[in-house]
């Protein structure tokens, strides 16, 4: 793992496409070993923010720094050694096996001409396959995997990068309950390895189970770009009052007596 | 498709045997047909100097070399264009690269440029055409396949119209006729000195493709994932496009407009040899060589005294193949994008 202890920080960020901001005035910090969830209604700019922080999209104004360095002043390969990004849609046409796919996660650590990895590369791939419980499927083509297995394989690629931070864009969207629970357990294991995680999530109950910090985005004025409406721990950021303001729904909240986690029940349009 | 090493080796051996057989048959069969031993003796100079030695060294061997170069160049160029667009329907002919190169060669011919300038003109024409098509087909996720093919068709039509005008206004009948036969596609009548530049460009292009096979694999994940894994996507795409155009341009400069090799060869290679990019590049090139050698043999033996144009013959094979590819399930889905 590289650069443990460094922080991803954004200052007065404005993000969007073709110089039209979708979301602005974003300042935040992400720390290793912390899970941050981004929530908000459709079209509020959650994915756009994650793409900008993960160096997929240049900010319109403001800057994103990894440690002291602006991420756009770093070579792409150096950045990829420290930060991994798992997109929402994964290409389905390629015929690679799980192992070949996970091995591509070692690219940031290799020379451009290198095909066969070092012992370090092999060890990192083994660990990623073991952590995602994909060892048995290592020779299976990606196209033959179920939705949950594919998602795990793509996360294994990110883990093989041995990054300090992982960004995931709606990782649970195509998963059934079982696979969702497995994914959340995996993310919690990554957290214990001091990896900083930021993920876009729609389901408030999933957020409540996993997030240390929540950033709630709001598009109150549809003409103006979205803003951060609230941030903090799950209970504070996702209060019934904030949810009503942002999602325009009435939400009942309970505390699960067994786990102590907050349970959300959106029951009517406000 | 994941193939075992044994399966790949046996298929590779089969392909090598077919390629070598095609070369031997091309050496031996023609207006003067000779047994392989006699041809070999004439080539290595073991037999006394004869008209057969002359035929083999001055006509058949340069022609075989051109077939091998054109086949390898078009196949590898097609392979790279398919990797860049992430679709097996792309090829230099269909994406307008060949037509752009063709127009530039036609212009260079009527301007009486020297033969060594022709590959350069073809490269510039091909690059211009590919840049225009890439611009037309751009989308947030790289290239849109539908737009790529349609832009290629549109650009080919425009280039075709200009080439026709050049043909009409050619300064002499001989020049016009020469251009006409060149456009129909063919590999006859080249000297060794004409073969060398195309050979250098093709080898260079294949080496670039081979050296960048890991980057090709990363691109197959889509631009977002490739960038997330530390690849400079834009730079990689431009280098690979440059290599594809270089090879296509060098092929067009010696063979005229020969279509569909770049479509068929990579497709067969993928089907026979599975995913590994390094194996695919070599085998697509070998398939391309075999395809052009066999087609050229057919072009010069089936016509009963009159040679059929190679480009026309390959279009007769490639056209139906393309239609079959479009109707295949996977490509139906891709074309809807």
Specify the higher pLDDT residue, B50 or B80. B80
pLDDT reading at A69 higher than 70: yes
Question: Do A174 and A151 meet the contact criterion of CB atoms below 8 Å apart?
Answer: yes
Facing B218 at nearest CB: one of A104, A114, A141: A104
Taking CA atoms, what residue in B is nearest to A163?
A: B229
A78 to chain B: which residues are within 8 Å by CB?
Answer: 230
User: With an 8 Å Cβ cutoff, are A157 and B229 in contact?
Assistant: yes
Distance between A113 CA and the closest CA of chain B, angstroms: 6
Instruction: Write down the pLDDT at residue A52.
Output: 95
CA distance B36 to B212: 39
Do A107 and B214 count as a contact with CB atoms less than 8 A apart?
yes
Strands (E), chain B: 138-139, 142-143
Express each pLDDT in A195-216 by its tens digit.
999 999 989 999 999 999 999 9
A115 part of contact set with chain B, CB < 8 Å: yes
Shortest Cα–Cα distance, B209 to chain A (Å)? 12
**Measured in whole angstroms, how far is the alpha carbon of residue B174 from the centre of its chain?**
27
If you average pLDDT over residues A135-153, what whole number do you get? 89
8 Å CB contact of B228 and A87: yes
| A57 close to B (CB below 8 A) | no
Shortest Cα–Cα distance, B37 to chain A (Å): 43
Can you give the pLDDT at residue A2? Answer: 43
> What 8-state DSSP symbol labels residue B48?
P
Looking at residues B254-270, what average pLDDT do you find?
Answer: 88
Please judge whether B230 and A108 are an interchain contact, meaning their C-beta atoms are less than 8 angstroms apart: yes
Quick: pLDDT tens for B96-125.
888 898 899 888 888 887 767 777 788 788
Buried b (16+ CB within 10 A) or exposed e, B231-264: bbbeebbebbbbbbbbbbbbbbbbbbbbbbbbbb
For residues A125 and B167, the model is more confident at A125
Q: How far is CA B71 from the centre of its chain?
A: 5
As beta bridge partners, residue A83 has A165
Please indicate whether, in this complex, the C-beta atoms of A105 and B229 are within 8 angstroms of each other: yes
Instruction: Answer whether B228 sits within 8 Å of A54, measured CB to CB.
Output: yes
| Chain B touched by A90 (CB under 8 Å) | yes
pLDDT reading at A87 higher than 60: yes
The reported pTM is 0.87
* Contacts with B222 from chain A: Cβ below 8 Å: 87, 89-91
User: Each residue of A213-256: pLDDT tens digit?
Assistant: 999 999 877 788 999 999 999 989 999 899 999 999 888 888 88
In chain B, the residue whose alpha carbon lies closest to the alpha carbon of A85 is: B228
**Chain A CB contacts of B225 below 8 Å:** 87, 90-91, 157
Distance from CA of A18 to the nearest CA of B (A): 11
Q: CB pairs below 8 Å between A and B: how many?
A: 78
Q: Rg of the Cα trace of chain B?
A: 20
From B225, B229, B274, residue closest to A108, measured CB to CB: B229
Nearest residue on chain B to A75, alpha-carbon basis: B230
Residue (of A258, A256, A267, A249) closest to A234 by Cα position: A256
Side by side, the strands of the sheet bearing A196-200 are: A83-86, A165-169, A196-200, A35-39, A213-218, A227-232
């Amino acid at each position: 793992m590289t650069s443990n202890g460094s922080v991803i920080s954004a200052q007065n960020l404005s993000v969007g496409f073709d110089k039209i901001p979708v979301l602005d005035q974003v300042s935040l910090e992400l720390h290793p070993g912390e899970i941050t969830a981004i929530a908000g209604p459709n079209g509020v700019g959650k994915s756009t923010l994650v793409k900008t922080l993960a160096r997929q999209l240049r900010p319109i104004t403001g800057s994103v720094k990894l440690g002291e360095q602006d991420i756009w002043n770093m070579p792409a390969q150096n950045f990829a050694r420290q930060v991994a990004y798992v997109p929402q849609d994964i290409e389905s046409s390629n015929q690679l096996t799980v192992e070949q796919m996970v091995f591509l996660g070692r690219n940031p650590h290799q020379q451009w001409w290198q095909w066969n990895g070092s012992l370090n590369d092999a060890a990192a791939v083994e660990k990623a396959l073991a952590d995602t419980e994909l060892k048995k499927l290592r020779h299976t083509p990606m196209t033959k995997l179920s939705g949950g297995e594919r998602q795990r394989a793509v996360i294994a690629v990110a883990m093989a990068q041995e990054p300090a931070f992982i960004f995931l864009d709606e990782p649970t969207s195509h998963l059934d309950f079982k696979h969702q629970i497995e994914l959340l357990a995996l993310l919690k294991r990554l957290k214990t390895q001091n990896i900083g995680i930021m993920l876009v999530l729609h389901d408030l109950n999933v957020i409540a189970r996993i997030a240390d910090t929540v950033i709630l985005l709001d598009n109150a004025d549809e003409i103006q770009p979205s803003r951060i409406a609230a941030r903090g721990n799950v209970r504070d950021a996702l209060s019934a009052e904030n949810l009503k303001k942002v999602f325009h729904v009435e939400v009942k909240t309970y505390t699960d007596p067994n786990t102590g986690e907050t349970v959300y029940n959106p029951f009517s349009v406000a | 498709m994941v193939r075992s090493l044994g399966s790949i080796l046996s298929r590779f051996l089969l392909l090598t045997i077919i390629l070598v057989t095609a070369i031997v048959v091309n050496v031996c069969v023609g207006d003067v047909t000779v047994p392989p031993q006699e041809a070999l003796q004439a080539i290595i100079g073991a037999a006394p100097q004869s008209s057969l030695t002359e035929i083999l060294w001055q006509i058949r061997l340069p022609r075989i070399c051109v077939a091998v170069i054109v086949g390898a160049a078009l196949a590898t160029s097609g392979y790279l264009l398919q990797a860049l667009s992430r679709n097996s329907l792309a090829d230099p002919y269909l994406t307008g690269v060949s037509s752009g190169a063709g127009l530039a060669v036609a212009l260079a011919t009527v301007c009486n440029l020297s033969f060594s300038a022709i590959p350069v003109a073809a490269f510039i024409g091909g690059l211009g055409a590919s840049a225009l098509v890439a611009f037309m087909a751009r989308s947030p996720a790289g290239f849109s396949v539908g737009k790529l093919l349609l832009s290629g068709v549109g650009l080919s039509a425009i280039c075709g119209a200009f080439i026709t005008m050049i043909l009409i206004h050619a300064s002499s009948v001989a020049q016009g006729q020469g251009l006409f036969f060149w456009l129909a596609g063919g590999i006859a009548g080249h000297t060794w000195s004409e073969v060398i530049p195309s050979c250098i460009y093709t080898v260079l292009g294949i080496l670039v493709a081979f050296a960048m096979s890991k980057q090709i694999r990363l691109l197959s994940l889509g631009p977002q994932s490739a960038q997330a894994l530390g690849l400079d996507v834009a730079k990689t795409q431009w280098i690979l496009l440059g290599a594809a155009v270089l090879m296509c341009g060098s092929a067009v400069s010696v063979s005229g407009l020969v279509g569909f090799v770049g479509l068929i060869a990579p497709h067969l290679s993928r089907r026979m040899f599975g995913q590994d990019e390094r194996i695919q590049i070599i085998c697509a090139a070998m398939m391309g060589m075999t395809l052009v050698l066999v087609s050229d043999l057919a072009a010069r033996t089936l016509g009963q005294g009159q040679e059929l144009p190679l480009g026309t013959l390959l279009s007769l094979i490639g056209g139906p193949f393309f239609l079959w590819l479009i109707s295949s399930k996977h490509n139906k889905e891709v074309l809807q994008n």
